[in-house]
Amino acid sequence: MLELLSLSSDCSPFDRFSILRLVKLPNLRELVKVEAQAASAPSASRAATPPSIFSNLKIFKIRNCPRIKKLFPFGLLKCLQNLEEIGVRYCRRVEEIIEVEDKKETITTVGNNETIRLGLPKLRKLSLRELPKLKSICTTQGVMVCDSLQCIKIYACPMLNRIPLYLPLLPNGERSLPSSLQEIRIESEEWLELLSWDNPSAKDIYLPFLKPCYDHSLHKGFDDLKDFNNFVQSFQGQKRTSHELSVEATDDDDDDDSSDAESDSVSDFGDDDCSKMLNLSGMEINEDYPVLLPDDLELLWITKCCGLKSLNDVFEFKALSDLRSCQIKQVDELECMLELFSLSSDCSPFDRFSILRLVKLPNLHELVKVKGQAASAPSTSCAPTLPSIFSNLKVLFIYKCPRIKKLFPPELLKGLQNLGEIYVIGCTKMEEITEVEEEKETLVTDGENETITFFLPKLKYLELVALPKLKSICAARGVMVSDSLERIVIVECPKLNRIPLYLPLLPDGKLRPPPTLEAIRPNSREWWESLVWDGPSAKDILLPFLDLEEDFTFILEKLTDASEIEDE
């Protein structure tokens, strides 16, 4: 990831990363490589060299990296004080998660035992899966001090024989796990019996939190829809802790390695709590070849399937009460997510989705297409039919969908009250994020100005990148009421000339920015200076939040082929 040639090497923008995922890197051997002057420095100074590397990292996940043996060197640990999630999977040579070389600096004597305390104060989740050579999470003398820890998952790590959590001594003489801990999921009771414990009472302390990780689990692949449907029909109603099912065409020779990588990473997508998954790849799906979905499905992944124009065309969703995450990628014929033919159309389980990712869909024109009776109804009667669609949606990620022009129709907006994150990247025809048709219904008079208010009360992150035709986030007179907003990123949107934040007027006559706002990140000061503001003091109010230090080069490099699907 990073090569340090000297102690003064510049480590930015690695200090700004909050999420890092490493997937299928066959030659990755270490996260930080120390060479030349840095390598010849004394070990004590080496440990102190990279305090800013990954200092804002919150989520770290790595899978299918077969060369790496040690994940975090000891010197890096001091930089990971904001780390909240660690997920490691299918790395067949990983032997140790935290490598400890210089033990003397951190040894603490407790009774007759010497322990090395390794602090990760914000770590909430630790997931270790399919690591056949993993011998230790840290050194045999190490204990992890994780006061925020909620969940540990350990599965198929046969050589691991210790869970090294720090058990502080309470005033009553007893030891205790972190008060935040909810569960430790392990592979089986048999593995539990093989564990070694730091003291005689440790096993009894752990026991109430230990739960089987994947009892009644199922991993099964198919290359024929008929066989898959027959299996699902016999499988319905059976209670399983988890299942990973896949239906993949065997004759797809366009990009075998890419297809394999996508199927491998299905369980890394979205919420780690999703344990019942289906991956459909390279299949023909239409009314003649429908797909029977498992009734307990939580995550649906669709890649390179043909014949699919909308999800409710060929999928029977009514019985799915648990489906909450969905990714659709490179499905060339998909025109919309949902097609409504009447006002009584059933919109479930779209009202249960919490994460939706739409990636490289060349014919996607809209999220919801309204036809027939629904299209001919007056807008006032039509609007109440849509609020339940996506009503639980928290994350929307849309990437390189070159046909879509308007993201949210006005009827859909009322149902997005739980939306927390919006990412729109490389959509070359996108003109407007929120479409407004009936402006009179939402007009609010503020002094001499009439504004159209849009309420997104839980929106925290808004990122708009490489949208060359984007003219407005909402209407020319629209403002977004988003009191949870933390970060706005706007990069390579040359036609956008306004940031429509609602800035209420306080009793002292001053405007108030969103109380949680942390940063507004444009890619140039020139663009910021060209913006049009709703009031004379709006720019001054938002100026303290301006962050021009972010390096967007890595984003733009990924988007150099954003126009790979040419406009018709």
Q: 179 pLDDT exceeds 90? A: no
What is the C-alpha to C-alpha distance for residues 373 and 339, in angstroms, rounded to an integer?
12
- The reported pLDDT for the residue numbered 121 is 93
Backbone angle region of 400, left / alpha / beta, with phi > 0 → left and psi within -120 to 50 → alpha: left
Distances (CA, A) of 144 to 47, 112, 192, 216, 290: 18, 19, 19, 31, 50
What is the C-alpha to C-alpha distance for residues 107 and 139, in angstroms, rounded to an integer?
12
What is the C-alpha to C-alpha distance for residues 259 and 441, in angstroms, rounded to an integer?
47
Model confidence pLDDT, tens digit, residues 255-264: 433 333 333 3
- The reported pLDDT for the residue numbered 10 is 56
Judge whether 464 and 558 are in contact, CB under 8 Å.
no
Q: 568 pLDDT exceeds 50? A: no
- The reported pLDDT for the residue numbered 215 is 44
Q: 266 pLDDT exceeds 70? A: no
DSSP string, 261-274: HHHHGGGGSS-TT-
- The reported pLDDT for the residue numbered 262 is 36
3-state DSSP call for residue 164? Answer: coil
- Written as six digits, the tokens of 540 are 């001054």
3-state DSSP call for residue 232? Answer: helix
CA of residue 192 relative to chain centroid, distance: 32
**Angle at the Cα of 449 (from 443 to 455), degrees rounded to 5?**
40
What is the C-alpha to C-alpha distance for residues 363 and 347, in angstroms, rounded to an integer?
22
> In the chain, how long is the greatest CA-to-CA distance?
80
CA of residue 67 relative to chain centroid, distance: 25
- Written as six digits, the tokens of 439 are 């402006």
Closest to 15 in 3D by CA, of 81, 66, 105, 61? 81
Instruction: Say what the pTM is.
Output: 0.67
Q: How many CB atoms lie within 10 A of CB 271?
A: 14
Segment 244-257 shows an average pLDDT of 59
Model confidence pLDDT, tens digit, residues 183-199: 888 877 777 788 888 87
CA of residue 91 relative to chain centroid, distance: 21
Q: 390 pLDDT exceeds 60? A: yes
- Written as six digits, the tokens of 568 are 């018709």
**pLDDT tier at 550, thresholds 50, 70, 90:** low
What is the C-alpha to C-alpha distance for residues 267 and 271, in angstroms, rounded to an integer?
9
Segment 58-66 shows an average pLDDT of 91
Q: 566 pLDDT exceeds 60? A: no
What is the C-alpha to C-alpha distance for residues 303 and 293, in angstroms, rounded to an integer?
16
Counting beta carbons within 10 angstroms of the beta carbon of residue 247, is it exposed (0 to 12), middle (13 to 18) or buried (19 or more)?
buried
- The reported pLDDT for the residue numbered 558 is 44
- Written as six digits, the tokens of 33 are 């490589």
| % of the chain surpassing 70 pLDDT | 73
Q: 332 pLDDT exceeds 90? A: yes
Q: 489 pLDDT exceeds 70? A: yes
Strand arrangement, sheet containing 519-522: 218-222, 243-248, 276-281, 299-303, 325-329, 355-359, 395-399, 421-425, 461-465, 487-491, 519-522
**pLDDT tier at 394, thresholds 50, 70, 90:** very high
**Residues counted in the chain:** 568
Report which listed range, 85-99, 378-392, 445-459, is most confident.
Answer: 85-99
- Where do runs of H (alpha helix) occur along 315-409? 372-376, 379-382
- The reported pLDDT for the residue numbered 73 is 86
- The reported pLDDT for the residue numbered 292 is 83
Which residues have a Cβ under 8 Å from the Cβ of 412 and sit 6 or more positions away? 367, 368, 386, 389, 390
Q: 170 pLDDT exceeds 90? A: no
Name the average pLDDT for the chain.
Answer: 78
Backbone angle region of 158, left / alpha / beta, with phi > 0 → left and psi within -120 to 50 → alpha: alpha
Phi, psi of 498, deg, nearest 5: -155, 135
What is the C-alpha to C-alpha distance for residues 95 and 158, in angstroms, rounded to an integer?
12
Q: 440 pLDDT exceeds 60? A: no
- The reported pLDDT for the residue numbered 491 is 93
Strands 461-465 and 449-455: what pairing? unpaired
- The reported pLDDT for the residue numbered 557 is 46
Judge whether 477 and 451 are in contact, CB under 8 Å.
yes
- The reported pLDDT for the residue numbered 561 is 42
Segment 26-35 shows an average pLDDT of 83
| Of the candidate ranges 85-99, 134-148, 441-455, 549-563, the one whose mean pLDDT is the lowest | 549-563
Q: Provide the β-strand partners of residue 421.
A: 395, 461
**pLDDT tier at 439, thresholds 50, 70, 90:** very low
What is the C-alpha to C-alpha distance for residues 479 and 19, in angstroms, rounded to an integer?
30
